[in-house]
Amino acid sequence: MLHSRILVLGGSGFIGTHVVSRLSAQGRRVIVPTRHRERARHLILLPTVEVVEADTADPRAMASLAAGCDAAINLVGVLHGSAGTGADRWGPQFGRAHVDVPAALVEACRTQGVRRLVHVSALGVTDGGKNTLPSRYLRSKAAGEEKVRQARDLDWTILRPSVVFGAEDSFLNLFARIQRVLPVLALAKPEARFQPVWVGDVAQAIVNVLDAPATTGKTCALAGPEVFTLRQLVRLAGTWSGHPRPIVALPAGLARLMAMLMEWAPGEPLMTRDNLDSMALDNVSARPIDPDLGITPASLRAMGPSLYGPGDGARYDGWRSQARR
Ligand SMILES: NC(=O)c1ccc[n+]([C@@H]2O[C@H](COP(=O)([O-])OP(=O)(O)OC[C@H]3O[C@@H](n4cnc5c(N)ncnc54)[C@H](OP(=O)(O)O)[C@@H]3O)[C@@H](O)[C@H]2O)c1
């Protein structure tokens, strides 16, 4: 069955923008809630897309958004959040984005009769890992997955991407930009391993999964064909951007201290202690993409020069400022 009216939470973000564009190009109606309409203005011109300002952690708001939809996709996620206290195990930001939002979405799907739900989690999360995984990011993501998995009356699929690359990503672009301005790069956890997956493949996998009943009740990794250490990725980003810099590995204690200082600096931190904790686990998968998802993953090594080459920063910066990110 082809789902024709789809609620996309997190549709204004990096991956969400690609998903919404693909759904709209197929002529499907797409509802994109956002906390700030301005952030989603790049979607407003797309035919068949409706951008709605709403609080997606509020069950009543979610129910009214889900009304009349026949499928929902959850792409809400944050990378940083302050520590929790007492019973608040993940801290307010992780708890809200990774646990409260999926819980409210599951409830809304139930009350509004929306059976199909695609939930995007993260590679490194394990079933039942909400108490055992090394970071609050991963533990809160595991708790969010649990909310979805417990919804036995819904047709859910959970997808776990590794780090996602693309012209507008905030991972390799960050390392490319840093190397344009700094003569040397001090790197925490240089031997942490990743299996980067192209945003186009992630978006297409999400779209394919929607109408693939074989993926119902499954949890699938989304990873690329190559494994890199963080040091290799940073070196490639520097080389492709035309500014390869020497990389110095930071000892663990110093890396933690630097991350703590970054947490205290104003604005979005470049790195937090929780990010370091997440990198205690390799971000790789033995089975990059399940054959049921219909994707042959693209190679970062092949695409990198055209994505991060000199001059591409302008395109990237233009997109970011357009989307106010
Ligand atoms: N990018 C990666 O490398 C990567 C890797 C693994 C997993 N993932 C997962 O994939 C999903 C999408 O990632 P992305 O890179 O596209 O993220 P993104 O660009 O940061 O976008 C995140 C989206 O979540 C929404 N959001 C954030 N906090 C929210 C909150 N508290 N309540 C409601 N909405 C909130 C934002 O919507 P508004 O600001 O418009 O409200 C935004 O559209 C996330 O779940 C992420 O954890 C991403």
Backbone phi, psi, residue 186, to 5°: -90, 125
Token look-up 């890396």 returns 255
pLDDT value of position 316: 44
pLDDT value of position 324: 38
78 lines ligand 1 (CB under 6 A): yes
320 lines ligand 1 (CB under 6 A): no
User: Whole-model pTM?
Assistant: 0.95
pLDDT value of position 319: 42
CA 175 to the chain's CA centroid:
18
Which is the closest atom of ligand 1 to the Cα of 163? Answer: 3
Q: Which of 75, 100, 233 is the pocket-test mutation for ligand 1 (most atoms within 8 Å of CB)?
A: 75
62 lines ligand 1 (CB under 6 A): no
pLDDT value of position 311: 67
Q: How far is the CA of 76 from the centre of ligand 1 (A)?
A: 4
pLDDT value of position 52: 96
The H or E element containing residue 193 is: strand 193-194
pLDDT value of position 26: 96
Domains of the chain and CATH, by start: 5-165+197-224+284-297 (3.40.50.720)
Q: Consecutive sets of 10 residues in the chain, 325 residues long: mean pLDDT of each?
A: 90 98 97 95 95 91 96 97 80 95 97 98 96 95 98 97 97 94 95 98 97 96 98 97 96 96 89 96 93 94 93 46 40
166 lines ligand 1 (CB under 6 A): no
Nearest-CA neighbor of 219 among 132, 303, 125? 125
pLDDT value of position 321: 38
Q: How far is the CA of 97 from the centre of ligand 1 (A)?
A: 8
